[in-house]
Amino acid sequence: MTTSFNEQFDQHGAWRREFALRLKLLGEWMKDHELLDAAVEERLRRLETQVRSDKVMVAFVAEFSRGKSELINAIFFAGYGRRIMPASAGRTTMCPTEMGFDADVPPCLRLLPIETRLQPQALMEWRMAPEKWTRIDLDVNDPKQLALAMEKVAETRRVTQDEARALGLWHNESPQDNPLPDAKGMVEVPRWRHALINIAHPLLKQGLVILDTPGLNAIGAEPELTVSLIPQAQAVIFILGADTGVTKSDLSIWQEHLITDTGKSNARLVVLNKIDTLWDALSTPEQMQAQIDRQCATTAEILGISLDQVIPVSAQKGLVGKVTNDPALLAHSCLPALETALATSIMGQRHEILGSAVAKAITDLRAETGRVINIRRRDLSDQLSELKGLQGKNASVIKHMRVRISQEQAEFDLGGARIHAVRSVHLKLLREVFGILGSTALKKEMAQLTEALQQKGLKLGVKRAYGETFTRLRASMARVQAITNEIQSMLGASFRQLNAEHGFSLQVPAEPSMQVYLHGLELVEQNHLQYLGIGNAFRLAQPEFADRLVRALATRLRSIHETALGDVELWSKSAAAQLDAQLRERRRTFTRRIEAIDRIQQATGGLNDRIGEIGMQETALDQLDAKLLELTGYLIDAKDKPAGLSGGGKTNAKSASARPASALKAKSA
């Protein structure tokens, strides 16, 4: 049974909620049984955050008048029974628009004035200043008010050509891309630079983010769109008109902004919209289909993609079919085929990636916790052998045993100085990593690049400056890898010695690989190279544009560095916490051994009682180990058996999102 994008996204959301709840239950159980050390707690916290806040961004990219907003209405907002995004003639989205859900923000539309383009701050910085945005509250239960508010994103204003040039929306060197002047020489530009829509739509609540990007001129003028937002989208839907085919401006968008990352070509879907313009009462259905097939084949050939990535659709007929509950019209619009492609290419892939990541983390967590349980089991076994050896012995032997245990404890405590020395070297090397990936070092790199971009006139050496910057960034990442390898070797030698001397089972976790971050740097560099060619030489000559480009770059790089730092920090904490846990268990064992000897000395029946207690504790540990395997086993296997993600029964997005949390909890208990 075919599952639509909306249904599959709903199932993915249900899986994430149940997974997060079971993760929380696992943490509470571990805390109750003293298995929750600092590293395990941090790992659980990160996992829960990752699963709960997992976002799936779908970017809709097109030149003006390709039916992009209508397609968004048809896929996501047909349930309102009317158009929500402006899509009528002469009313279309004029500024980049993000739709998502943040529970901490009331339903609203926030609009950033176009005049902010005259200032150097990047979009990410403006997000941190909500008072600079125009805010309109939304009533999500009133479709009419919602649609009326959304018309704001279509607003324009008239400015002089000089003002348009200052805003980056007029270029003397490419007059074909400029807006047409009116009789007074004034030109029309978007009123807003960026729009953020926060509404509790069922899909948005589950982590979907929709990015609506309008027109080649708007895309090219905002570096953060093409070097940050679009490249990070899980899927990009590129919309063309079936009546026009691939125009020159369509091809420019595709070549300049959508094919820089060949590794994600499978996440690029091309929608040949408005196929209803090819429906002709004078032609047979077979003739009309043949014409659509030819357009699809021509489009695939021009764009250099496989034919199955081109999907013919009538967004307008699909919307009408959904709103009027006309299954025949909906099927004829081919909209369900697009939704199925979205479900297959995005949600299946997204679930697999997230599921594999959390399964690996849970497997590591199980191994760490299992080691603690095994230490407890081995210590109980040693105690049992020790106590059985005292059976039938006189008081002097028992007293001598107590003295020997106290000596062992004192010798063990003296070994703490060596452990402290290892930790000092460990922390020193970690500080070096933090220095390499910290904000100060990145600001220094960006300052050098900014200086190169601020030279007057055409910046013919800018590509070299970028290349040198990324060469240094890659060298820094390689240095971090070398340091983590050094820490790994040092901890490995120390752990082997401690294992031999004290019978520990310490095992250094595998150091984080910087390869994924080196790949991230390559992708960022590729996304920026499109701005460094001759075609953008005049745009780069504008200091404000060059400054925005560097600020957008800094935002991406900061994210990469912070994530890499987080991985190194968690790895370091895991190694340290493992040592702390085994030290703590050994000290606890010494205390229990001495307490047992004292009880034996005070009462003749104490020895057999203690032997019986140890037997009961061993049984309890077996039960603890079995429960750990059960709780973590569900979380590991969950990636292979999500709530209907592989197909099967259909669910309704609204009904699923409305399920009470108590029902989920009851199911998970």
Joined together, the tokens standing for residue 392 give 């039938």
Question: Measured between alpha carbons, how far is residue 510 from residues 364, 487, 572 in Å?
Answer: 10, 11, 10
pLDDT, position 659? 30
Token look-up 């659980």 returns 44
Alpha-carbon distance of 493 to 508, in angstroms, equals 10
pLDDT, position 107? 93
Alpha-carbon distance of 342 to 2, in angstroms, equals 12
Of 17-21, 131-135, 455-459, 529-533, the least confident: 455-459
User: Mind listing the pLDDT tens digit for each residue in 347-359?
Assistant: 666 777 777 778 8
Distance of alpha carbon 360 from the chain centroid: 16
Flag whether pLDDT at 589 surpasses 80: yes
In a domain, 160, yes or no: yes
pLDDT, position 90? 55
Question: Measured between alpha carbons, how far is residue 291 from residues 249, 271, 317, 411 in Å?
Answer: 23, 16, 18, 87
Joined together, the tokens standing for residue 549 give 């480009």
Of 10-24, 231-245, 305-319, 635-649, the least confident: 635-649
Q: Which residues of 527-545 are buried (b: 16+ CB within 10 A; e: fewer)?
A: bbebbbeeebbebbbeeeb
In a domain, 176, yes or no: yes
pLDDT, position 518? 93
In a domain, 403, yes or no: no
| Residue-wise DSSP of 25-48 | HHHHHHHHTT---HHHHHHHHHHH
Higher pLDDT, 561 or 527: 561
| Contact (Cβ atoms closer than 8 angstroms) between residue 253 and residue 219 | yes
The average pLDDT across 143-170 equals 88
Alpha-carbon distance of 167 to 115, in angstroms, equals 7
pLDDT band at 314 (very low <50, low <70, confident <90, very high): very high
Flag whether pLDDT at 321 surpasses 90: yes
The average pLDDT across 634-655 equals 49
Joined together, the tokens standing for residue 414 give 């003296």
User: Mind listing the pLDDT tens digit for each residue in 535-544?
Assistant: 565 666 666 7
pLDDT, position 113? 94
pLDDT, position 25? 87
The enclosing domain of 140 has a CATH number of: 3.40.50.300
pLDDT, position 92? 65
The average pLDDT across 18-43 equals 84
* Element housing 388 (H / E): helix 349-388
| Contact (Cβ atoms closer than 8 angstroms) between residue 72 and residue 210 | yes
- Residue 22, CB half-sphere, CA atoms under 13 Å: how many? 21
pLDDT, position 660? 31
In a domain, 147, yes or no: yes
Could you tell me the strand order of the sheet in which 134-137 lies?
Answer: 134-137, 108-113, 192-198, 97-100, 208-214, 56-62, 235-241, 268-273, 310-312
Of 116-120, 327-331, 384-388, the least confident: 384-388
User: Mind listing the pLDDT tens digit for each residue in 595-614?
Assistant: 777 777 766 556 777 778 88
Q: Which residues of 257-295 are buried (b: 16+ CB within 10 A; e: fewer)?
A: bbbbbeebeebbbbbbbbbbebeeeeeeeeebeebbeeb
Of 85-94, 353-362, 553-562, the least confident: 85-94
Instruction: Provide the H-helix boundaries in 33-87.
Output: 38-52, 68-76
Q: Which residues of 190-202 are buried (b: 16+ CB within 10 A; e: fewer)?
A: bbbbbbbbbbebb
% of the chain surpassing 90 pLDDT:
19
In a domain, 274, yes or no: yes
Q: How many domains does the chain have?
A: 1
Residue 449 one-letter amino acid: L
Of 31-35, 148-152, 483-487, the least confident: 31-35
pLDDT, position 649? 36
Of 48-62, 222-236, 505-519, 578-592, the least confident: 222-236
Partnered with residue 192 across adjacent β-strands are 113
The per-residue pLDDT of the chain, averaged, comes to: 80
pLDDT, position 334? 93
Strands 235-241, 310-312: pairing kind? unpaired
pLDDT, position 352? 73
pLDDT, position 644? 43
pLDDT band at 664 (very low <50, low <70, confident <90, very high): very low
In a domain, 568, yes or no: no
pLDDT, position 48? 81
The average pLDDT across 632-647 equals 61
The average pLDDT across 283-307 equals 90
Alpha-carbon distance of 439 to 445, in angstroms, equals 10
Flag whether pLDDT at 661 surpasses 50: no
Alpha-carbon distance of 271 to 273, in angstroms, equals 6
- Please tell me which of 331-340, 369-378, 385-394 the model is most confident about, judged by mean pLDDT: 331-340
User: Mind listing the pLDDT tens digit for each residue in 384-442?
Assistant: 887 777 776 667 777 787 888 888 888 777 766 667 777 777 888 888 999 999 889 99
In a domain, 627, yes or no: no
The average pLDDT across 469-495 equals 91
Alpha-carbon distance of 223 to 62, in angstroms, equals 16
In a domain, 175, yes or no: yes
Higher pLDDT, 536 or 240: 240
Distance of alpha carbon 566 from the chain centroid: 14
Domain that residue 142 falls in = 55-349
Flag whether pLDDT at 160 surpasses 80: yes
